[in-house]
Structure formats: structure tokens, C-alpha cells
């Protein structure tokens, strides 16, 4: 019986070997376009990270650029990620009329908050380019950051159409998910834009387009709660925030959500409830964050520790800190982290093949590539480790920031209580009770009493029914 | 002329240094004890009936803290782009 897959694999590996040998031959030669020729052979043999070294050399040293080179650039940028080229100086990224390089420059400029520079580069990328969905997404965001909302809206619409098309055409599940997230991100950015402009009702309508099954949905609940707050619908805002207490969303803990809960109670003049939320924050979350801080500071200068922890089994680290599991789960769910992790594994794999090749037969090209790919591997390890570390430190900073903001609410409550004493008045009641009369609703909404159970289809649609306690009455007690 | 000016300035300097020397020897003494006979003091004026007491009313200044409210979601927009491949 003929084992076809084995034969195909053998032919392929032989073919790949032949191409690599060609690369060695070019490396030894004095050919004018030697960098391109080596990169071409390396790409054919699937040594994408190795190829980036020679492509970058070409961009720095040569003035020649062709359509074939652009295709190579596009492929390598997609296979290794735009980060591989982002360390090049802007003058090299803008040296040629290359759409892939313009995309890398646009992305880099946005990250450095140079929005006009990002626009200048990205606007030149055609809509049929493979990186067009990302490109129009960044364009829309750049205009939004510059508060040019009409232009931003045009690009977000294009982004939704293009991402949807790519989502339908993508064959791999991960890629489908990726374009799905870009589409939803463009929708969410539109909602954020309306929020910034003060069109809260419109913003809410756009947020509602994101399905509850989406990966982005738990993250936008807090934003929706802010929209309800701005619409003075404090009961609905509290209801939206209570969704985070459901067992399904235990890994999502946002200090801002606690602050907004206290603020909503404050606006309803339910000072007791507000103080209770603040007290709980100080007694529960703050000590936990202090514990996490101690752990983070002990390893803050390590370039590998956090990545090693994340890649090890959960049981090894989940008891290190109460927030550890939540934070690690959130990091693991991030698309960026997953994509970078794939690239990290790819570079490790490439390194393994280069070392194997070197063991069989030493040649100058492989020796050079081992040294260069080792640098890339080390840089990517540090980059991933830094990404995890940054997420954790941002979380700690947020806990402290909102602790300060909650302290302000507490001071304000004390000041208002003092005012009441001076005026010889008191609030109408100590604690209002929930009632359907206090719930604002649209025609399509139906209400059921909450019996302490979180049903998946109801998540995010809760509303409190608390009556505002802000009416002051004369204090008759002496 | 210059000789005259020089002579005058020297004589003025010597006089001022002499005056300073005299000031150093000056002792100032303050009265250590003084008594007042309050019963013997006379105050001139008229005795009249007290009128209505009036206090100028003023609204007490109230200070409100600027509690934090979200103005935009720009940091989140930034994070979204940072999460691209």
C-alpha cells in the first residue's frame, strides 16, 4: 500500500532542503540582489523569521523595489506579524511605495499617538489589500482621536463591510474570529464616538448591536452602564453593573464598575448603600491588590517569569494571589496575546530547525541565522512577558485610582450630611425599596422579579427599581 | 578743590565714627512698673437705650467635589488598536 502523505512530506522536505541550499549558495556569492534572493529562498523553505533579517537588510541598503518584493513583504508581515518590521526607522518604512510598509508605519505611528502621520500612511492603502480591514479600522480611530467624527464614521462603515467580507471568506476558525472581532470593534468605536459627542441614546442603540455571545460583550457592559448613568437612568446603570456578579462573569473584575455602582447610589441619595460599596471595596479588594502588588514587585525586573507562569498549569499558580486566576484568564482570552503566542511558538520552532541543520552540517548562513533568530526569540519572550506584566500592573493602578475616586464620594456624602444638619433637615427615608414604578422601560421590554438567579439570556438586561431618596424633609427630632 | 573735598570727607568720616561710639554707650531704660487706678478713670459719653440687633445675612458657601465622570473611551480605543496583529 502506498503511503501518499509520507511521500508528499518527503518530496516537500527535499524541496525545502533544495531551496535552503540555494539560499546558502546566494549567501556565498557577490550577487547584486543577494539579500532579496536569499529572502526569497528562505520564504520558499518557510523560514519566515530568518527571511525578515534579509528583507530588512535590503530596505536599508538598496533603492530597488518591485511587485515581487512587495508580495514577499506582505507574506512575511502576515506570517510573523508587523512587529517584525516596526523596529525599522520611519525613513526606511516610507522609503518605497509599499502598502505593507505603509501599514506597518501607520500602526507604529498610531501607537506613538502620531495620528496625522498614521492617516497619511494608511490612507494610501487600497481597499482590496489584505490588510485593508485593519487599515480602515486604524484610520477611523485616528480621526476619532483627532475628534474629526464625520471622517471617522466613514472609515468605520468601510471597516464593518470589509471585516464582514473577510470573516465570510476566511477558512480558518481563528482568522474568522479575528475578523469578527475587528467588525465588532468598529461597531463599538462608533458607539464610543456617539458617547463622546453626547448622543447617549444613539450610543446605546449601537452598543446593543453586539451580541451577548461576543468575546467583547463583557468588556462593553461597563461602557453601557456609563451611558445609562449619563442618561440619568441610575437604576438601569446599577442593573447593568450587577451582571458582573453573575457566576459566568467571575473572571471579569473591573474596579471602575465598583466606583460607578457607588456613584449611582450616591446620585439616588442612597448614601448608606454607597458607603457600603465603598467599604466593601476597601476591606475586600484593596488588601487583595496589596497582596498581588507584593508578588508583582518581587518579579518586576524578570524578563521571563510572567510568561513562564502563564504557560505552566493553572494549579501551579492559581493560589499565588486571589486575582491571579482572573487576570491570567483575561490575558489568555486576549486576541493580541494569542496571536503573539502563536508567533512566539513559530520563532521557537524555526530556531529548532536551524539548530538541527547546524548540527548536521555547519555553514555560515545557518550560523548567522541562528544568532539573528535567537535575538528575535529573546525579544519576543520579553515582549510577551512585558504584555502580561503590563496588564497586571495596570490592574493594580486601577484599583488604587478608583480607591481615590471612591474616597471623594465618601467625602461628598459627609459634606452633604453636614449640610442637612445645618439646615435641620433629613432625607425622606433611610432606604428606599425597589418598585417597578421606578423602572424606565421601552415598549419591547418585559420585567420579571430577580430571585437571585442569573439566567444567561437575561444577563446585561437587569434594572434596579430604587426610588430616588433625594427629597429633603424637615427634621422633627430634637 | 580736590584737596578740599578730600579733607571734608575725612572729617565727616571721623565725626560719624565718633557718633557711633557714643551710641554704643547709650543705655535705654524702660519703666519697670506702672499702676492705673481704673476707678478714677473718667469716660466721656451718653447712656442710651439699645436698639434692634442686626446681623447681615450671608449664604454659606457650599463646596462640591468634582466627582469623576467618563468623558470618553479613548484609552479603550487605544487598547483596541494595540490588540491588532
Q: Which residues of B touch A408 (CB under 8 A)?
A: 65, 67-68
- pLDDT the model gives residue A12: 44
Question: Which pLDDT band, with edges at 50, 70 and 90, does A17 fall under?
Answer: low
**Element containing residue A102 per DSSP (H, E):** helix A99-111
Lowest-confidence range among A97-101, A116-120, A374-378, A467-471? A467-471
Q: What is the DSSP letter of A472?
A: E
Closest residue in A to B65 (Cα–Cα): A412
- pLDDT the model gives residue A316: 79
pLDDT in tens, A197-231: 999 999 999 999 999 888 889 999 999 999 999 99
Nearest-CA distance B74 → chain A (Å):
7
Question: Which pLDDT band, with edges at 50, 70 and 90, does A475 fall under?
Answer: confident
Decide: helix, strand or coil at residue A344: helix
- pLDDT the model gives residue A251: 75
Task: Please name the member of A185, A408, A419 whose beta carbon is closest to the beta carbon of B65.
Answer: A408
Q: What is the DSSP letter of A216?
A: T
- pLDDT over 90 percentage in chain A: 55
**Element containing residue A474 per DSSP (H, E):** strand A472-474
Q: pLDDT averaged over chain A?
A: 87
Closest residue in A to B81 (Cα–Cα): A138
Q: Could you tell me how many residues make up chain B?
A: 85
Residues A462, A439: contact at Cβ < 8 Å? no
Report yes or no: A355 at the B interface, CB cutoff 8 Å. Answer: no
How crowded is the C-beta side of A153, counted as CA atoms within 13 Å? Answer: 8
Q: How far apart are CA A415 and CA A426, in angstroms?
A: 13
Greater confidence (B40 vs A92) lies with A92
List, in order of start, the domains of chain A with CATH numbers. 1-77 (no CATH), 89-210 (1.25.40.10)
**Element containing residue B4 per DSSP (H, E):** helix B2-25
Question: Which pLDDT band, with edges at 50, 70 and 90, does A1 fall under?
Answer: very low
pLDDT in tens, A35-72: 999 999 999 999 999 999 999 999 999 888 888 999 99
The pTM is what? 0.79
Question: Which pLDDT band, with edges at 50, 70 and 90, does A340 fall under?
Answer: confident
**Does the beta-carbon distance from B71 to A144 stay under 8 Å?**
no
Q: Which residues of B touch A344 (CB under 8 A)?
A: none
Task: Please name the member of B68, B77, B82 whose beta carbon is closest to the beta carbon of A145.
Answer: B77
Find all residues with CB under 8 Å of A297, minimum gap 6, and list them. Answer: none
The top-scoring range by mean pLDDT among A187-191, A332-336, A362-366 is A187-191
- pLDDT the model gives residue A442: 63
Mean pLDDT of A387-400: 90
Mean pLDDT of A269-293: 89
Find all residues with CB under 8 Å of A135, minimum gap 6, and list them. Answer: A103, A106, A122, A125, A129
- pLDDT the model gives residue A44: 92
pLDDT in tens, A49-58: 999 999 999 9
Instruction: Work out the burial of residue B12: count CB atoms within 10 Å of its CB; fewer than 13 is exposed, 13-18 middle, 19 or more buried.
Output: exposed
| Pairing mode, strands A472-474 and A425-427 | antiparallel
Report whether pLDDT(A439) > 70: no
Q: How far is CA A289 from CA A241, A297, A325, in A?
A: 21, 12, 13
Q: How far is CA B6 from CA B15, B16, B20, in A?
A: 14, 16, 21
Report yes or no: A265 at the B interface, CB cutoff 8 Å. Answer: no
Report whether pLDDT(A446) > 80: no
Q: Interior CA angle at A181 toward A90 and A129, to 5°?
A: 50
- pLDDT the model gives residue A10: 42
**Does the beta-carbon distance from B84 to A422 stay under 8 Å?**
no
**Does the beta-carbon distance from A415 to B84 stay under 8 Å?**
no
Find all residues with CB under 8 Å of A31, minimum gap 6, and list them. Answer: A37
Work out the number of other CB atoms within 10 angstroms of the CB of residue A356: 10
Report whether pLDDT(A86) > 80: yes
- pLDDT the model gives residue A452: 65
Nearest-CA distance A113 → chain B (Å):
9
Nearest-CA distance B54 → chain A (Å):
21
Q: Which residue carries 508587523 as its cell?
A: A82
Q: How far is CA A428 from CA A49, A411, A420, in A?
A: 70, 21, 12
Closest residue in B to A179 (Cα–Cα): B84
Q: Which residues of A touch B77 (CB under 8 A)?
A: 141, 144-145, 189, 192
Closest alpha carbon to A76 in A96, A53, A94, A58: A53
Report whether pLDDT(A5) > 60: no
pLDDT in tens, A282-328: 988 888 888 888 888 888 889 999 999 888 888 877 777 777 878 88
Q: Which residues of B touch A223 (CB under 8 A)?
A: 73, 76
Q: Which residues of A touch B68 (CB under 8 A)?
A: 259, 405, 408
* A:B CB pairs within 8 Å: 69
Residues A14, A21: contact at Cβ < 8 Å? no
Q: How far apart are CA B28 and CA B31, in angstroms?
A: 10
- pLDDT the model gives residue A72: 93
Q: What is the DSSP letter of A452?
A: S
Q: Rg for chain B (alpha carbons), in Å?
A: 40
Report whether pLDDT(A280) > 70: yes
Report whether pLDDT(A394) > 80: yes
Greater confidence (B38 vs A277) lies with A277
- pLDDT the model gives residue A437: 65
- pLDDT the model gives residue A8: 45
Q: How far apart are CA A268 and CA A261, in angstroms?
A: 11
Q: How far apart are CA A167 and CA A465, in angstroms?
A: 41
Mean pLDDT of A89-113: 94
Task: Please name the member of B68, B72, B80 whose beta carbon is closest to the beta carbon of A195.
Answer: B72
Nearest-CA distance B56 → chain A (Å):
18
Q: Could you tell me how many residues make up chain A?
A: 478
Q: How far apart are CA A205 and CA B4, in angstroms?
A: 101
Task: Please name the member of A107, A196, A411 whose beta carbon is closest to the beta carbon of B84.
Answer: A107
Lowest-confidence range among A444-453, B57-66, B69-78? A444-453
- pLDDT the model gives residue B29: 85
Report yes or no: A228 at the B interface, CB cutoff 8 Å. Answer: no
Closest alpha carbon to A177 in B79, B76, B85, B73: B85
Q: Provide the ipTM.
A: 0.84
Q: Which residue carries 473572571 as its cell?
A: A251
Backbone angles phi, psi at A232, to 5 degrees: 65, 20
Report yes or no: A334 at the B interface, CB cutoff 8 Å. Answer: yes
Q: Which of residues 179-218 of A touch B (CB under 8 A)?
A: 182, 185, 188-189, 192, 195-196
Amino acid at each position: 500500500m502506498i503511503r501518499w502523505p509520507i511521500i508528499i512530506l518527503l518530496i516537500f522536505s527535499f524541496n525545502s532542503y533544495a531551496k535552503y541550499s540555494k539560499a546558502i549558495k546566494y549567501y556565498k556569492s557577490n550577487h547584486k540582489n543577494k539579500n532579496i534572493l536569499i529572502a526569497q529562498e528562505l520564504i520558499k523553505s518557510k523560514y519566515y523569521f530568518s527571511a525578515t533579517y534579509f528583507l530588512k537588510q535590503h530596505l536599508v541598503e538598496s533603492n530597488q523595489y518591485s511587485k515581487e518584493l512587495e508580495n514577499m513583504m506582505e507574506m512575511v508581515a502576515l506570517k510573523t506579524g508587523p512587529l517584525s518590521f516596526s523596529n525599522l526607522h520611519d525613513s526606511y518604512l516610507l522609503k518605497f511605495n509599499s502598502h505593507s510598509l505603509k501599514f506597518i508605519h501607520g500602526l507604529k505611528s498610531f501607537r506613538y499617538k502620531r495620528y496625522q502621520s498614521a492617516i497619511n500612511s494608511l490612507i494610501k492603502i487600497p481597499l482590496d489589500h489584505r490588510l485593508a480591514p485593519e487599515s480602515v479600522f486604524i484610520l477611523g480611530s485616528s480621526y476619532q482621536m483627532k475628534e474629526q467624527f464625520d471622517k471617522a464614521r466613514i472609515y468605520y462603515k468601510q471597516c464593518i463591510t470589509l471585516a464582514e467580507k473577510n470573516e465570510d471568506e476566511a477558512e480558518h476558525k481563528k482568522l474568522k474570529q479575528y475578523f469578527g472581532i475587528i467588525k465588532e470593534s468598529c461597531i463599538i468605536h462608533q458607539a464610543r464616538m456617539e458617547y463622546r459627542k453626547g448622543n447617549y441614546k444613539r450610543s446605546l442603540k449601537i452598543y446593543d448591536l453586539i451580541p451577548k455571545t461576543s468575546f467583547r460583550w463583557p468588556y462593553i457592559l461597563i461602557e453601557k452602564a456609563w451611558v445609562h448613568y449619563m442618561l440619568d437612568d441610575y437604576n438601569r446603570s446599577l442593573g447593568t453593573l450587577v451582571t458582573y456578579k453573575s457566576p459566568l462573569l467571575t473572571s471579569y473584575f473591573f474596579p471602575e464598575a465598583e466606583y460607578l455602582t457607588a456613584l449611582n447610589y450616591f446620585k439616588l441619595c442612597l448614601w448608606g448603600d454607597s458607603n457600603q460599596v465603598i467599604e466593601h471595596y476597601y476591606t475586600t479588594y484593596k488588601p487583595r491588590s496589596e497582596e498581588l502588588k507584593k508578588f508583582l514587585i518581587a518579579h518586576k525586573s524578570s524578563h521571563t517569569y510572567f510568561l513562564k507562569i502563564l504557560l505552566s498549569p493553572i494549579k501551579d499558580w492559581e493560589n499565588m494571589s486571589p486575582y491571579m486566576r482572573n487576570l491570567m484568564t483575561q490575558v489568555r482570552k486576549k486576541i493580541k496575546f494569542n496571536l503573539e503566542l502563536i508567533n512566539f511558538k513559530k520563532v521557537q520552532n524555526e530556531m529548532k530547525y536551524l539548530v538541527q541543520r547546524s548540527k548536521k552540517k555547519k555553514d555560515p548562513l545557518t550560523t548567522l541565522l541562528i544568532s539573528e533568530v535567537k535575538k528575535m526569540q529573546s525579544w519576543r519572550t520579553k515582549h510577551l512577558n512585558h504584555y502580561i506584566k503590563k496588564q497586571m500592573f495596570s490592574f493594580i493602578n486601577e484599583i488604587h485610582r478608583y480607591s481615590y475616586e471612591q474616597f471623594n464620594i465618601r467625602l461628598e456624602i459627609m459634606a452633604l450630611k453636614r449640610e442637612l444638619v445645618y439646615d435641620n433637615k433629613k432625607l425622606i427615608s433611610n432606604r428606599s425599596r425597589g418598585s417597578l414604578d421606578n423602572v424606565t422601560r421601552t415598549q419591547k421590554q418585559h420585567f420579571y422579579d430577580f430571585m437571585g438567579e442569573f439566567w444567561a439570556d437575561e444577563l446585561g438586561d437587569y434594572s434596579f427599581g430604587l426610588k430616588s431618596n433625594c427629597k429633603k424633609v424637615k427634621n422633627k427630632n430634637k | 578743590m580736590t584737596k578740599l573735598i578730600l579733607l571734608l570727607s575725612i572729617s565727616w568720616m571721623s565725626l560719624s565714627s565718633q557718633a557711633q561710639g557714643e551710641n554704643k554707650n547709650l543705655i535705654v531704660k524702660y519703666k519697670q512698673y506702672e499702676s492705673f487706678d481704673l476707678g478714677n478713670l473718667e469716660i466721656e459719653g451718653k447712656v442710651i437705650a439699645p436698639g434692634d440687633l442686626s446681623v447681615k445675612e450671608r449664604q454659606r458657601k457650599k463646596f462640591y467635589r468634582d466627582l469623576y465622570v467618563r468623558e470618553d473611551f479613548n484609552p479603550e480605543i487605544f487598547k483596541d488598536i494595540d490588540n491588532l496583529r
